[in-house]
Amino acid sequence: MTWWQLILLAVVQGVAEFLPISSSGHLVILAHLFPSQEGQQGDLTAFNVILHAGTLGSILVFYRRQIAELLTKDRSLIWLLAIGTVPAVVAGLGIKLLADEVLELPIVAGAMLPITGLMLLWMAGRDGELEYTKLTIKQALIIGAFQAFALLPGISRSGSTIVAGLLVGLKRPAAATFSFLLAIPAITLAAGFELLQLIMNPTPDTHAGMLAAGAAISFGVGLLALWLVVRLLNQGRLHWFAYWCIPFGLVVIAWQVWEWMPSTS
């Protein structure tokens, strides 16, 4: 992996993990544009672990007060987060076993991005009355189901879970807080799975300096993205990202259809 690829992927991961534009969708599209090289897949696996670690660190720092309360005063919320994580675990295992290759198709990302955009347009002007500490098991499962849907590239995890939070009646700040607290076990499990793959298929040529740089970039960009998404959500402007997701998704679909069309020459 070259330095420009590293920087680009780290910035995309840091930005798109939290802004509602789907990090997985953008990374799938970018990976398709990179030339295939021997050993590159192993580098990407190692790098994905580090990228997830960087974005996880940004959540832990940004929501440190809420996490401290979670571990002291609001311990019952831990069970709700665990319950909300179950749908993604079940769906993730099913996809890995039955249709893992679907997650690597740019056309799937292109088709899903407009759906993310439509969800964002739905949330425009909406607000609820509940705090995230008042969620029921049923409501946590609904939000978890939206998170499971976001396993598809092009479906934003943050966007879909915030939309689900508003759907069940959460206030905007509460919807964002629960969404990103729910991301902690989700990102941890994703990074753990990729780490297991790395252990089973080690890549000794991966440079520690590049991995450290990737983690630092995704951490710093992730902090900025978290601040921005919370600010825009509180201002009722998060749906603005629909105007990126919808046209970009259509462009990706057109590009993939063009690639698949037989040559007329």
Q: What whole-number distance in Å separates Cα of residue 16 and Cα of residue 224?
A: 11
User: What pLDDT is stored for residue 206 in this prediction?
Assistant: 55
**CA–CA distances in Å: residue 213 to residues 3, 7, 51, 159, 199:** 10, 8, 10, 27, 21
Within 10 angstroms of residue 253's Cβ, the number of other Cβ atoms is 18
User: What pLDDT is stored for residue 264 in this prediction?
Assistant: 46
Among the listed ranges 200-214, 227-241, 245-259, which one has the minimum average pLDDT value?
Answer: 200-214
pLDDT at 53 over 60: yes
- CB 222 within 8 Å of CB 158: no
User: For the chain, what percentages of helix, strand and coil (3-state, to nearest 5) are there?
Assistant: 80, 0, 20
With both helix axes pointing from N to C terminus, report the angle between 40-62 and 64-72 in degrees, rounded to the nearest 10.
Answer: 70
pLDDT at 109 over 90: yes
% of the chain surpassing 90 pLDDT: 52
- Beta partners for 170? 130
Q: What is the mean pLDDT of the chain?
A: 85
pLDDT at 83 over 50: yes
Average of per-residue pLDDT across 174-189: 91
Q: What whole-number distance in Å separates Cα of residue 256 and Cα of residue 110?
A: 9
Average of per-residue pLDDT across 97-101: 73
Torsion of CA 111, 87, 80, 231, to 10 degrees: -10
- CB 55 within 8 Å of CB 13: yes
User: What pLDDT is stored for residue 164 in this prediction?
Assistant: 97
pTM for this entry: 0.86
Average of per-residue pLDDT across 225-238: 92
